[in-house]
A and B are shown apart, each in its own frame.
Chain A
Amino acid sequence: MSAETGTNFDEMLNADGSVRPAYAEFRQWFDGQDKGWLRRQDAEAERFFRRIGITFNVYGDDAAEERLIPFDMIPRIITAREWRKLTRGIEQRVRALNAFLQDLYHRQEIIRSGRLPIEALRNNDAFLTQMIGFTPPGGVYTHIVGIDLVRTGPDDFMVLEDNARTPSGVSYMLENRETMMAMFPELFTKIPVRPVSDYPRRLARSLRACAPPAFRGDKGSRPVVAVLTPGIFNSAYFEHAFLADQMGAELVEGNDLRVVDGRVCMRTTTGYKAIDVIYRRVDDDYLDPLTFNPNSALGIAGIFDVYRSGGVTIANAPGTGIADDKAIYSYMPEIVEFYTGEKPILQNVPTWRCSEADSLGYVLDNLADLVVKEVHGSGGYGMLIGPTSSKKEIADFEAKLRAKPANYIAQPTLSLSTVPIFQKEGLAPRHVDLRPFVLVSPDGIDITPGGLTRVALKKGSLVVNSSQGGGTKDSWVLDE
């Protein structure tokens, strides 16, 4: 398989250069625009992002503490038919993820049945023994899920990764749309694009639907929701503030919170006030220094006891990380089938588990053609992309892999689809992925049409992560 552009599936253009139906109306509009004007709009968009402060902090890069994620004005367009199939697949997968978590922390039927080896849980930090035997309010583990999809052909969408902990990026989905509508309002009168702007309202509703037993709803009051952020130095702080603001929720930090009379309370100017639902954007490790990381300055002492006694809802539930672990990922087809009784609608990317001797042998023999990832890594760090790596990089990685094979999985280098980006010279194809955002509540599963399209801005690059210089696009799902 090749990472070269030109041999892969382009979502806008057919191999003969004609425009695919999904993009027909957009392309007609685009071709009619003055390119100088488009370039000026492009510059205007950057100023807009800076002014409202949509920035992203890159760790370990002091000089550019706050960066913009580059925004590309060419939308990524998905047809109604494609989206229907995707939503069925996503819903099935998210249902399975929640059932899987419920099972793992209770009877572990999937292990008893022999579909998942017990080794997948042993010595896995993402599996929280403190959650065993406990069911979160409403039975929901993953209130917010981001499913990372890649596309390799007209009908070939695959799941690259499940994000069941604290998926980020939804603020970019929303702001990208705002920006497009401000820059090119006439586009939205010509083309029927499904709206995304009510995501924060749906998120708030979904979180309130998971209020804990301690919430009584006296006098028609509504559950108090707060977004828990590590603070302004976190890379996604903008998003935390944005979502709190849009939901009308409080934005709290660990040192605003304290356990008072069996409830988690925030320090207000007039005293401590109980919170019902915490949408936490901190890792499990930083939740409760008494239960988890004793060195954490970010957590709230005793919050876990309150949680277990029904005093607060934590979204997503602690311990959901086990479901998006890359070692577990390779078992997702079995997991989906085990809990839904159906064949998976969305395929996994073929994955070799380096913990298994046969697989390791294959991976070592084919390193130059594979993508090798750390089981617990994220953000595009600590991975090897064989086809674009030097001999020395491959040799160095091989040493690490041999030293700790169970720490890695390998996948073929996929021929990811491309969508054009706008450049001075015109349109140029770049690889993309898609992260739809999924809300889970006792009332059901709610998928916002579209999601966040991340795009590799360098020619031929397959790495779309914003921490590695990727950009984003507005993602359109066309109405029926």
Chain B
Amino acid sequence: MLGRAANGVFWMSRYLERAENTARLIDVGFHLALTRGNRQSQDEEWKSVLTTTGLLDDYCSKHTDFAGTQVFNYLLRDRDNPGSVLSMVENARTNARVVRTSLTNAVWETTNEGWMHLRDLLARPVRETNLGEVLIQIRRTGTLVRGAIEGTMLRNEVFNFSRIGTFIERADNTARILDVKYYVLLPSAAWVGSSLDNVQWDTLLRSVAGNRAYSWLNAGSMDPRGIAKFLILDGQFPRSLVFSYEKIRSNMAGLAKEYGHEVPAHQLLRDAGAKLHQTSIEEIFEGGLHEFLQDFIGKTIEIAGAIAADYRFSE
């Protein structure tokens, strides 16, 4: 396939994944802000959502306060914000249009319809009363497109580049969410086991749709180390770092099989994957959770860059 088309399906999937993750972050920010009495800690929550999405500076250049409605409208529908859900869904759809000949009709149509629907839904300012519905629709769009890809695409290079895009983005997003909140998982004598901690931990899990799964696996008991282990090293949880890397590895293996040879990105990924597998949660905390996550985020960017270069995404 064309390098440009591989780039197109890769980014289409990344944008959809990121739009969905942004919706989830807004959901959590909103719930948390509701549970906070004072304005200052509400502001802190929204600020941390903006930090996670990497948009705090851009937001501050346009706005002077962190009123919830203003923040989530900025994140959902500000056309001048390239990281808004509307911009990203539009980008995903533009990429789908570019690579339309590589997609099945079902994938193109769900992407196009999702875009049309969200564009209409986000045409007017979102209010607190309809925020929930809007967020559900954003997540549903991502789910439908993934389902169409899963259900209708040949398991070939197009499929593999799409999946690699999804899981590169997911690995990056989970790591960033964890990194912005890593301090809530650090041992702190004063707060251990306090109800505030429980809320924080629950929030973190909700941000990656992992609260139910974690509770189920741990019979409802929460501890910071267990949560970190779950989000980083759990091989069953579909948004963990290990899971995401395993998917990237398997789809990269698919490409090597189809093309009959490996590229340098394969070795890079193998090294990073091996390192991740051999690391225990104790070692991560000893070396510093923040340092570990920074290193992981950097490595993921490096792998994505190598994939783009090795498969000639651009000239």
Please list the residues of chain A having a beta carbon within 8 angstroms of any beta carbon in chain B: 50-53, 231-232, 237, 241, 244-245, 250-253, 255-256, 266-271
Contacts and interface: CB of A to CB of B under 8 A. Distances in A.
Given A51-B109, A267-B312, 19 more contacts: A52-B108, A53-B97, A53-B100, A53-B108, A241-B101, A245-B100, A245-B101, A251-B101, A252-B2, A266-B2, A267-B2, A267-B3, A269-B1, A269-B6, A269-B157, A269-B161, A269-B255, A269-B311, A270-B259
A359 to B, nearest CB: 47
Interface in B96-126: 97-98, 100-101, 105, 108-109, 112-113, 116
B100 A52 contact: no
B94 interface: yes
Contacts of A269: 1-3, 6, 157, 161, 255, 259, 311-312
Contacts of B157: 269
Given A241-B97, A269-B259, A51 B3 contact: no
A251 B99 CA distance: 8
A269 B113 CA distance: 29
A232 to B, nearest CB: 5
Contacts of B98: 231-232
Contact of A50 (B2, B105, B116): B116
Contacts of A251: 100-101
Nearest to B261: A270
B141 to A, nearest CB: 14
A244 B6 CA distance: 17
B286 interface: no
B80 interface: no
Contacts of B315: 255, 267
Contact of B97 (A237, A256, A267): A237
Contacts of B94: 232
B33 to A, nearest CB: 36
Given A241-B100, A268-B312, A269-B157, A52 B6 contact: no
B105 A52 contact: yes
Interface in B54-97: 94, 97
Contacts of A270: 259, 311
Contacts of A266: 2
Contacts of B312: 267-269, 271
B4 interface: yes
B108 A268 contact: no
Interface in B136-173: 157, 161
Contacts of B100: 53, 241, 245, 251
Closest 6 CB pairs of A and B: A269-B311, A245-B101, A241-B100, A267-B3, A251-B101, A244-B101
Contact of B112 (A53, A231, A232, A252): A53
Contacts of A267: 2-4, 312, 315
B259 A232 contact: no
B67 to A, nearest CB: 30
Contacts of A244: 101
A430 to B, nearest CB: 29
Which interface residue of B2, B98, B113, B116 has the most chain A CB atoms within 10 A? B2
Nearest to B3: A267
A255 B116 contact: no
A250 B105 contact: no
A244 B97 CA distance: 13
Interface in B287-315: 311-312, 315
B113 A256 contact: no
Nearest to B6: A269
Which interface residue of A241, A245, A267, A269 has the most chain B CB atoms within 10 A? A269
A228 to B, nearest CB: 12
B251 to A, nearest CB: 13
A53 to B, nearest CB: 5
A474 to B, nearest CB: 21
A51 to B, nearest CB: 6
Contacts of B3: 256, 267-269
Given A241-B97, A245-B100, A271-B312, A51 B6 contact: no
Contacts of B255: 269
Contacts of A232: 94, 97-98
Given A245-B101, A269-B312, A271-B312, A253 B4 contact: yes
A237 B105 CA distance: 16
Contacts of A51: 109, 112-113, 116
B61 to A, nearest CB: 25
28 contacts: A50-B116, A51-B109, A51-B112, A51-B113, A51-B116, A52-B105, A53-B112, A237-B97, A241-B100, A244-B101, A245-B100, A245-B101, A250-B101, A251-B101, A252-B2, A253-B4, A255-B4, A256-B2, A256-B3, A256-B4, A267-B3, A267-B315, A269-B2, A269-B3, A269-B157, A269-B161, A269-B255, A269-B311
